């Protein structure tokens, strides 16, 4: 009876739906010329693999309502494609060097080519959404389109918010600021959009999408905090560099907390370190921040935060899903909450 023995169901379904999505996704990737400078790059991230959490959530939600896999597959592909397109941009803007265990696209090919590939991938992600019209009918397809429009804007705003904080070296933030940013930057694409459109597809447009906003937000926020935590503790197997977020100056819950906990003199030091760009920061600066985070219990604090939000996510799950009959997909969605917070 070990608590860490989380369900086998989550990896099982991620694998299953992930494979289906990937297979379908290949159909949409252009295979024509020019390959070397464009389409190979476009296909690079999607084919590197990944957890496939976003498309799986979408498919599982639709199926929990009784829809077939094929009803949701195109939308799932679109989500995954757009996610990868945004990753290319994120990596450029964050100055990240590794992605899924390999150098980032712009490190390999340079920023102009990577940017261009990202834009193209964004366009490609639209194609499965257009294809929805044939399977789901105009009205549902239109609603999904509107949702994706809202999601894309929210993601852009969220990314802008965070980059703005970095650019102006804003550190005096609170948890609500952080959550507002995460809601837009992460949750919309990662969780809110997949469950909302999944519910749209499954209920043929009848579901009350607000309750899925709540569930998606709490699940996504838990996911993001856990993601940031893993970045600090994980080793290479996670596929990113260690302490990468600190090098990049990313505004995480731990950093925000640290700033509030530090005495004034140390706050100034933190501000100074954060002011420079990635290349100006020294290894000893990063090590100091990391040590202060430990000293002030920031990591514990964020971990607890993730647990609280996971608890609320479970509650919101019951609000949004309790009226649906029990099913494998429904259980998967519930167990996702625990998986998100316990994965390592």
Partner 1 sequence: MSERPRIRREDPDRAAPVRHWGNLFRSAASPSAPSTNGSAKREPTDEMTVYDAANGPASASNAAVFGPISEDARIAIENAYRVVDEHLQEGRRAAQSRRDDVRVSAPGAFPAASIGSAGIGLAAENIQAMVAESIRFYSTLAPLWTSVVNSIATAATAASPPDDAGLAAAPLARPPMPGSETTMVGEPIIIELASARMTRVTIDLIPQANATKLATSGLHSIVPNCQSIRDLTFIVDSHSNRPVVRIRVPDDQPVGCYNGVIVDIDSGDPRGTITLRVEA
Partner 2 sequence: MVRILAHGRRLIDIIMPIEVAVIGGGCAAITAAFELTRPQHQGKFHVTVYQLGWRLGGKGASGRGPADRIEEHGLHIWMGFYENAFRLLRECYAELDRDPHKCRMADWRDAFTAAPLVGVMDRSPHGAWVPWLALFPPAEGLPGDPLTNHNPFSITAYLGRLATMLRITIASAQMHQHDQVAGGAAQTSIDPFSSIGSGEGPSSVTIDEIAATIARLLKYGLIATVAGLNEVVALLEVVLRALPSYSTDIIINLLGTVSTAARGQIEPLIENDDELRRLWEVIDLTLAVMTGIVRFGLTTDPRGFDAIDDYELRDWLRLNGASERSLNSAVIRGIYDLAFAYQDADPQRPFQAAGLAVRGSLRMFFTFRGAFFWRMQAAMGDVVFAPFYEVLKRRGVTFRFFHRLENLRLADPSTLAPGERSYVESLEFDVQATTNHGQEYRPLIDVRGLPCWPSRPDYAQLTDGELFEREGRDFESHWDRHKVASRTLRVGQDFDFVVLGVGLGAIPHVARDLVARDQRWRDLVNHVPTVATQAFQIWMREDMATLGWRHRQTAVSAFTHPFDTWADMRHLIAEESWPRAPRAIAYFCSALPDAKSNGGANEQSASEYPLTMREAVRQSAINFLNRDIKYLWPAAVLPNGGFRWDLLVGTEESSHPNIGSAHDDAVAANSSGSSEDAGESRFDSQFWTANVNPSDRYVQSPPKTTRFRISPLDNTYDNLTVAGDWTACGLNVGCVEAAVMSGRLAAHALAKSPTLEDIVGYDHP
List the x/- string, 257-296, binding to partner 2 by CB under 8 A: ----------------------------------------
255 binds, among partner 1, partner 2, none (CB under 5 to 8 A by kind): none
CB 232 within 8 A of CB 247: no
Question: How far is Cα 210 from Cα 205, in angstroms, rounded to an integer?
Answer: 13
The Cα–Cα gap between 255 and 260 comes to: 9
Size of the site for partner 1 (CB under 8 A): 60
**Backbone region of residue 2 per phi and psi (left: phi > 0; alpha: psi in -120 to 50; beta: other values):** beta
The yes or no reply on residue 341 touching partner 2 (CB under 8 A) is yes
Phi, psi at 102, each rounded to 5°: -135, 170
The helix or strand, by DSSP H or E, that contains position 98, with its residue range, turns out to be strand 98-99
- Contacts for 295 with CB less than 8 Å, ≥ 6 apart: none
Nearest to 151 by CA among 51, 18, 26, 54: 54
How many residues at the interface with partner 2, by CB under 8 A?
Answer: 20
- Beta pairing partners, 98: 103
**Binding to partner 1 by residue 29, rule CB under 8 A?**
no
- Least CB distance to partner 1 at residue 118 (A): 6
| Cβ distance to partner 1 smaller for residue 12 or 300 | 300
242 binds partner 2 (CB under 8 A): no
Q: For binding to partner 1 (CB under 8 A), which residues are involved?
A: 85, 89, 93, 115, 118-119, 122-123, 125-126, 129-130, 133, 137-139, 141-143, 145-146, 148-150, 152-154, 156-157, 159-161, 163-165, 167-168, 170, 174-177, 179-180, 183-184, 210, 213-214, 217-218, 221, 304-305, 308-309, 312, 315-316, 319
């Amino acid at each position: 009876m070990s608590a860490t023995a989380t369900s086998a169901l989550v990896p099982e379904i991620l694998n299953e739906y992930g494979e289906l999505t990937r297979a379908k996704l290949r159909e949409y990737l252009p295979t024509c010329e020019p390959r070397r400078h464009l389409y190979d790059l476009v296909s690079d991230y999607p084919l590197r693999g990944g957890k496939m959490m976003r498309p799986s959530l979408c498919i599982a939600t639709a199926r929990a309502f009784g829809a077939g896999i094929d009803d949701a597959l195109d939308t799932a592909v679109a989500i995954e494609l757009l996610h990868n397109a945004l990753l290319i941009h994120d990596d450029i803007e964050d100055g990240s060097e590794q992605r899924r265990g390999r150098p980032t696209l712009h490190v390999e090919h340079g920023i102009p080519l990577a940017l261009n590939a990202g834009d193209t991938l964004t366009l490609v992600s639209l194609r499965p959404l257009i294809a929805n019209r044939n399977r789901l009918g105009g009205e549902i397809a239109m609603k999904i389109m509107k949702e994706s429009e809202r999601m894309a804007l929210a993601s852009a705003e969220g990314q802008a918010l965070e980059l703005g904080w970095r650019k102006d070296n804003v550190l005096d933030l609170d948890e609500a600021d952080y959550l507002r940013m995460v809601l837009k930057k992460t949750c919309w694409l990662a969780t809110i959009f997949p469950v909302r459109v999944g519910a749209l597809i499954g209920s043929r447009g009848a579901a009350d999408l607000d309750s899925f906003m709540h569930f998606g937000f709490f699940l996504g926020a838990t996911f993001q905090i856990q993601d940031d935590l893993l970045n600090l503790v994980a080793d290479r197997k996670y596929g990113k560099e260690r302490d990468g977020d600190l090098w990049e100056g990313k505004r995480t819950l731990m950093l925000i907390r640290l700033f509030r906990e530090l005495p004034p003199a140390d706050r100034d030091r933190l501000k100074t370190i954060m002011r420079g760009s990635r290349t100006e920061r020294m290894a000893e600066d990063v090590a100091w921040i990391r040590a202060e985070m430990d000293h002030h219990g920031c990591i514990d604090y964020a971990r607890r935060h993730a647990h609280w939000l996971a608890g609320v996510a479970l509650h919101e799950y019951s609000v949004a899903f309790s009226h649906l009959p029990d099913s494998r997909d429904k259980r998967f969605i519930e167990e996702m909450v625990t998986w998100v917070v316990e994965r390592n």
